[in-house]
Amino acid sequence: MEWFVSMWDEESDFRRYRGGSGSDLAGVMAQVVAAGREIACREDGAIVAMAGNAVVDGTPMNSIPFGDFEISD
């Protein structure tokens, strides 16, 4: 199943995104969370945005707070 994660960076007016695929839902969700956490921060560690969007196997998910590191994976 394919997945896609995106987040809007207002400061740079740029959409950050990652995508990939996996064979099982648990593995895909782990990839989605890792990619979301990665794009939530700039190289200097500044938070891009708190919430991002994900699509897993063609199904859009609600906004996910990738940038809120107080919430566990």
Q: In terms of Cα–Cα distance, which of 67, 60, 10, 68 is closest to 39? A: 67
Q: In terms of Cα–Cα distance, which of 29, 44, 39, 43 is closest to 67? A: 39
Average pLDDT score, the chain = 91
Which pLDDT value is given to residue 73?
66
What gap in Å lies between CA 32 and CA 35, rounded to an integer? 5
Half-sphere exposure of 39 (CA within 13 A, CB side): 23
Residue 35 has pLDDT above 80, yes or no: yes
Report the residue count for the chain: 73
Question: β-strand 14-21 against 53-56: which pairing, if any?
Answer: unpaired
Per-residue pLDDT, averaged over 27-36, amounts to: 94
Residue 46 has pLDDT above 90, yes or no: no
